[in-house]
Amino acid sequence: MQIVLAPMEGVVDHLMREMLTQIGGYDLCVTEFIRIVDQRLPARVFHRICPELQQGGKTLAGTPVRVQLLGQEPHWLAENAVRAVELGSPGVDLNFGCPAKAVNKSRGGAVLLKQTEQLYQIVKAVRDAVPVEYPVSAKIRLGYDDTSLTLANAEAICAAGASSLAVHARTKSDGYRPPAYWPWIAKIKQHVDIPLIANGEIWSAADAALCQQQSHCQDIMLGRGALAMPNLAQTIKQQQAVMPWPQVLQLLMHYSEFEITGDKGKYYANRVKQWFSYLKLQYPQAACLFKQLRLLTKSTDILTLLTYTLQQQKTSA
């Protein structure tokens, strides 16, 4: 079984990738998307989204990190895909699943699921341009408004030469509302001969097992569940116990040091609140702490609260 850490714009940046891969269980990470319009982007854009390019295309824990591109022009996607691998990305991923209105309005992401031929042309252009030893993967949803083109889209991506296909088992219209329709991935599997990766609504080891059973896929991709339970990959792969709350607090402190000293310090307050919105789904203690934390805007105040809470945990232990 391979476990992939999903790309989540504004959430899973290089700092989060470093932390989660240090905990372990991941075989591959995919970056937040790089938006491609009508030019070959400079190296600095790739390095900003994927600093791991400067350390061999891997996190410090040794997990490969694949650059993801989003756009609608085959030529420019191909040009930038070549640049990505030249800069050190161990392959390229193509985003056909992003549900964001702004992205779809500019003909990127999930809206391309309405255009099967365009999917084919994009994947083929990128596959033809990128040296054969580098994987070209893609991520889709089941469709835009419905599943009428699901099989045709998957077949087109496969025929164009994609190395693998991650399937978020919901349509764009479904958003993130449960359930995820994992049996649809099993249907797709009957029509394509490339590896499939199942994604959507995997919050626990039990969910992962059920997803594998219903999708007929061994490989899975974790997104929001990985943020709600930081060692989710290890609970699935190694049958580890769920990470206890005091250890999660230590992790939050570690993340805070990363964020505040890093180049994204100004986003720290929003980032940590966003992470808490997922943690509280798994940990009741996070829900209580979030009530205090959400009122704070300064990094120093948030750090003080986390430090105090951790000390209280140690005292009561």
Q: State the catalytic residues.
A: 98
CA distance 143 to 258: 37
At position 97, the amino acid (one-letter code) is G
SS3 30: strand
Contact 140, 96 (CB under 8 A): yes
DSSP 66-115: EEEEE-S-HHHHHHHHHHHHHTT-SSEEEEE----HHHHHTT-GGGGGG-
CA-derived radius of gyration, the chain: 20
CA distance 193 to 93: 18
Q: Which long-range contacts (CB under 8 A, 24 or more apart) does 207-216 make?
A: 208/236, 210/182, 211/180, 211/182, 212/1, 214/182, 214/183, 214/185, 214/186, 215/169, 215/182, 215/183, 215/185, 215/186, 215/189, 216/185, 216/186, 216/189
The answer for 135, left when phi > 0, alpha when psi is -120 to 50, beta otherwise, is beta
Q: In terms of DSSP bridges, do strands 196-199 and 28-35 run parallel, antiparallel, or are they unpaired?
A: unpaired
Q: What are the backbone angles phi and psi of residue 95, rounded to the nearest 5°?
A: -95, 110
